[in-house]
Structure 1
Amino acid sequence: MQWSCPMYRKLGLLVIAAVLLQGCATYVEHRLSSRVEPMGMPANMPEIITDTGGQFREFCLPHLGGCTKYIYAPSTTERQEQSFKFTAVFEDATKEYVLDLNRQQIPEVRRGTMIMLHGYGGNKETMYFLAEYYRFIGFHVIIPDLKGHGESSHEQPGLAVNDVEMIHNLINSLPGRERPHPLFITGYSMGAVAAVHVARQRNDISGLVLLAPMRQFEDAVYEVTKMTNKTAVKIISEDSIREGARNTLLKNDIEAEALDLHQILPPLKVPTLVLASERDSVAPFSYFQPLGSRYVEVKEIPDRHHFLMAIMDPKMHEYLYPWLQRRR
């Protein structure tokens, strides 16, 4: 499987008139509280997913106020080899990530289920490249659209905390044959924070894989804005961006500490692997390194952009596969 992805995609130009009318911080709050613009993906992505055995499904609960779509795909242990190729096109360079695996390298296949949670601005399809890796080593995968993203009917993002009930109920709705134990969760960026909250609510999660976990919310919002929208940081001050982020949490009745891994991860006695890159200003390795403990391993993926932390390559496989094999 080979994909390419243009980097530094504009997440939406800020309109000067709107800023002047609404106020900078208010505009930031409005953007963060509204349905997230979809990330650019290959037009044939649905066909790629169905051709490789994935199924698109819908999950609804009346008391949750809406529905969401999710991908279910069983393991592919019958395959004898799998090639992973991803091309990232930057403004000034092109970089390829390649991993070739065969059954001699993966002699012992797993049995289990991996729930996969995308980050802010992503959707279920953005996690499918990594899902193919998990399927090859023996996992069933379940990948929902989080609130306010993709094909979720909710217009407002869940900001990790408000996604938990939906994820919890979706897991419980599946028959045992489709979610064999042990259960693991992989979360990327904001999805990593959601993963921790789901694990705190359940007693059947055997491990967490946290890819470039989001740091404190207002720091993450500011760093992502700098990376993705150079127009915004010229028009809106850092103080206003941070104020808008804080106001978003207040509006959603979410404490800032609930989105801080340093606060919510240590009390959780679940084996956890954190993968981060020092190059990533949104989730730098040094920020998470102090979390290392009996339960938490923190490993560095060198020279990796934030938006590429869910892309499989030899270094990630070197850390991830042995760690999963130790979890039973």
Structure 2
Amino acid sequence: MKKITKDLLIAAPIAVGGALYSASRLLYSYAFNRSDIVPEPGKDIIGYANDYYYYIDWLNEQKHAEHWRLVSKDKKEELNAVWVPAKHHSKFSVLISHGYKGNGVTMANLAQMYHFMGFNVLLPDSRGHGDTSDPYISFGWLDHYDALAWLNMMIKRVGPESKVFVHGVSMGGATALMLAGEDLPPQVKGIIDDCGYSSLNEELVYLARKVTKLPVEPVRRLMSKINKVRTGFSFDAVSSVKQLKKAKVPIFVIHGADDDYVPTYMAYQNYNAITTPKKIWIVPNAGHAMAFWVDPREYHKQVTSFIKSTL
């Protein structure tokens, strides 16, 4: 009996550890494996579906749009973007970074907004999305390094007199915020973040507590170790707040007051970390990534005002 008890005491932690690891791998695959199917509009945006597809159709009709290719700095990944040049020659350009499980085309609404403002527009597919070769989603971390290369291509195309902005939504918002902490070309004049998270650790813990009864912290640590092996970085590295403390350009933070996917308090965490000229707009009655759809005219007005303030 004593031997059986001792064996159970040894086996139980091993069994629990194995179960947690299996669960962590399963959750990692669900969250981080690429998806080649762009989801239909979610329940929040379903009321705006006609408008959403109107913008998609508009983008597809842009006959002068170009498909750009980029090989990642580590020479491992092929990246894709759509370039929509301004109707007339313009020194103004914007890189628009899309959200989780989307692609560049899903930012057609913002592409049209900027196009009508006279901007050249670049719509990259983030890693693990759209027409890229990466099998894993990096939640903006590797994407923010890729964005530096895209920016250099944009500036080369338009010229050294370029005035460039970066606008990101959701995961793309975090991409833009993390980009702000890098050594940016002087042509970059401002960053616009729409509902980006403050840190990957905090975002994953927040979501995990909503969808699972598993012990969150050990699962997060195991997922981070899996990610380190597969993509080369741990979750601890991925922080908008840390990057924002190094920012040198003006930043505009937009967030829905009713966001329950990236909670609104993260907007204030990001905003409070910024030491450069900054602006925040918490949009009433807007859920996650819904600020534009709730009030597109006010969205355009707020973005235009911010851009003018940086020039």
TM-score by shorter chain over 0.5: yes
Summarize the Cα distance change of 1:239–1:49 in structure 2 as closer, same or farther, 3 Å threshold.
same
Aligned to 1:40: 39
- TM-score w.r.t. structure 2 length? 0.74
User: In the aligned structure 1, how far is the partner of 2:54 from the partner of 2:258?
Assistant: 31
Q: Where do residues 50-89 of structure 1 align in structure 2 (5 Å cutoff)? A: 50-53=60-63, 55-61=65-71, 63-76=74-87
Contact 2:254–2:267 (CA under 8 A) maintained in structure 1:
no
The structure where helix makes up a greater share of residues is: 2
SS of alignment partner, residue 83 of structure 2 = strand
Give the aligned length.
Answer: 274
Structure 2 distance, partners of 1:278, 1:245, is: 30
Matches of 1:179 and 1:310 in 2, distance apart? Answer: 31
- Cross-structure match for 2:190: 207
* Residue 171 of structure 2, aligned match among 190, 194, 209: 190
The alpha-carbon distance between structure 1 residues 201 and 282, as it changes in their structure 2 partners (threshold 3 A), is: farther
- What code does the residue aligned with 1:68 have? L
**Alignment-derived partner of residue 120 in structure 1:** 100
Partner residue, 1:318: 301
Is the CA contact 1:69–1:151 (under 8 Å) kept in the aligned structure 2? Answer: yes
1:288 and 2:267 matched: yes
Change (3 A) 1:272 1:120: same
Secondary structure, counterpart of 2:265 in structure 1: helix
The 1:288–1:48 alpha-carbon spacing in structure 2 relative to 1, beyond 3 Å, is closer
Structure 2 residue aligned with 1:159: 139
Offset of residue 50 of structure 1: 3.1
1:186 is displaced (CA, Å) by: 0.8
Within a 5 Å distance, the mapping from 1:18-29 to structure 2 comes to 23-29=22-28
The partner residue of 2:59 within 31, 46, 49 is 49
TM superposition score normalised by structure 1: 0.71
Tell me how far 1:273 sits from its aligned partner: 0.2
Mapped to 1, the partners of 2:119 and 2:159 lie a distance apart of: 10
Matches within 5 A, 1:87-166: 111-166=91-146
Would the alpha carbon gap of residues 207 and 281 (structure 1) be closer, same or farther in structure 2, given more than 3 Å must change?
A: same
Please state how far the C-alpha of 1:154 moved relative to its aligned partner: 1.6
Distance 2:173 2:135 in 1: 21
SS class of match (1:116): strand
The corresponding residue for 2:14 is none
Q: 1:133 to 1:36 in 2, by over 3 A?
A: same
Pair 1:21–1:258, CA change in 2 (3 A): closer
Aligned residues of 2:195 and 2:267 also touching (Cα < 8 A): no
Q: 1:180 to 1:76 in 2, by over 3 A?
A: farther
Percentage identity across aligned positions? 17
Secondary structure of 1:326's counterpart equals helix
1:308 pairs with one of 285, 290, 300: 290
User: Quick one: structure 1 residues 40 and 30, their matched pair in 2 at CA, closer, same or farther if it must change by over 3 Å?
Assistant: closer
> SS of the residue aligned with 1:152?
coil
How far the C-alpha of 1:111 sits from its partner, in A, is 4.2
Point out which structure has higher relative CO (alpha carbons under 8 A, 6+ apart). Answer: 1
Gaps of 5+ in 2: 1-17, 41-51
Q: In the alignment, residue 190 of structure 2 is paired with which amino acid?
A: G
Contact 2:247 2:274 (8 Å CA) reproduced: no
Q: Any residues of structure 2 matched to 1:219-258 within 5 Å, and which?
A: 219-224=202-207, 233=211, 238-239=216-217, 242-243=220-221, 245-251=223-229, 252-258=231-237
